[in-house]
Amino acid sequence: MSYFDAASAAPLHPVARQALLASLDEGWADPSRLYREGRRARMLLDAAREATAEAVGCRPDELVFTPSGTRAVHAGVAGALAGRRRIGNHLIVSSVEHSSVLHSADMFEAGGGSVTQVPVLRTGAVTVESYEEALRPDTALACLQSANHEVGTEQPVAAVAEACRAAGVPLLVDAAQSLGWGPVEGGWSVLTGSAHKWGGPSGVGVLVVRKGVRFAAQGPVDERESGRAAGFENLPAIVAAAASLRAVRAEAAQEGERLRELTERIRARVPQLVPDVEVVGDPDRRLPGIVTFSCLYVDGEALLHALDREGFSVSSGSSCTSSTLTPSHVLRAMGVLTEGNVRVSLPMGAAEEDVERFLSVLPRAVAGVREKLGAPAPTTVVRAEELVVDALGKRCPIPVIELAKVIGDVPVGGTVRVLSDDEAARLDIPAWCEMRAQEYVGEEPADRGSAYVVRRLS
């Protein structure tokens, strides 16, 4: 089985496994106690903090360990906002942040705060100008991920941090995806990370608050972790997380170059091997191991199952792979196709022959899904130079498939009106037009659902 979903959780690094097993014997005691076992545990905790701080690029007393990366984000956002409540009640986030950041923003807004979501380019990147425009006198905090978890696009963190610094606003950086590859550059104020993203054990997060940043921890606190992460530390996991971070950093330069070549191979060859595919994300400013593409006329869940049967573990941002049945907020914000989406995220050590086998299997898997889907014969009514496609009651990608089948039946300049009650059609029909160089005229109300109007340009 080839595991290609490291962006969700990287396999446990061998060094992490060794450190975890060793610290189970040595680090089980309470590090706050003064007897021998407690002092030994404290030494392990201090060493882990120093090693992690060195990798992050901060002081050890600025870094605390949390029970997860999500908890680090929640604590970081809430504490930074509370610390600056006298400054204002305004929060800035990008539209492609991890759900932990967006959930924190939703809670803040529900409590009376004001939130600005900064849009992104089609590559998934924000612009510095968009953050500068969003800054206000009452802005308490801005958030920006270092790199996107779904498409791998790296964000201009250093430049955004400088713009925020000039305005006197702290910047919180979610560095979960990038921290294993290197420290985050720039004058950020708060940073979060998650050990299972870099090959450490799950259940360990990192929260860094720079000295001088106003921060007020929220919720019940105790004397542990500077009052910012209550509860008994999971010391064996923390030691393993620190050891694995140091280990992957030692390998990062060479392994990053190797994985970047493999993902570039996937980016270049998938469109050659599979028709009607769009590779998404920034082609240059991106993490080494992540490549994401969307296939027209494909059900994402069916494609993931087909690839799983062939021995490949990949993930998807398609709505049909989510329990909420809503399209990925990242793909939606980028304006790219949401159906038939595949994210390949290679772990360190991924074999070149596995990538080649994936490229040989993918065309057959996509063709099989498309064949099984079949597209029901569309019901059409001719109105002069317009066709009406009744796709009511049919889930995407079927409305898009039916649109593609009949676009050639109208003359250049003619229109196709697609009737659909599937929310995903609102995203996927404009994305299809962008990919196929047709004009998306717009959405109109209909008796049921909506009518999506497309004009044939070629």
Catalytic residues, by residue number, are: 320
Beta-bridge mates of residue 172: 143, 190
- Enter the tokens of residue 263: 């993902």
- Enter the tokens of residue 154: 């790296």
290 torsion bin: left (phi>0), alpha (psi -120 to 50), beta (else): beta
Non-local (6+) Cβ contacts of 282 within 8 A are 123, 124, 125, 151, 152, 153, 154
- Enter the tokens of residue 238: 């923390």
Non-local (6+) Cβ contacts of 107 within 8 A are none
- Enter the tokens of residue 179: 């921290």
The type of residue at 180 is: G
- Residue 245 CA: distances (Å) to CA of 12, 28, 153, 187, 199: 11, 21, 22, 22, 7
Please say whether the beta carbons of 292 and 342 come within 8 A. Answer: yes
Whole-number Å distance between alpha carbons of 176 and 195: 8
Beta-bridge mates of residue 192: 174, 207
- Enter the tokens of residue 376: 């029901």
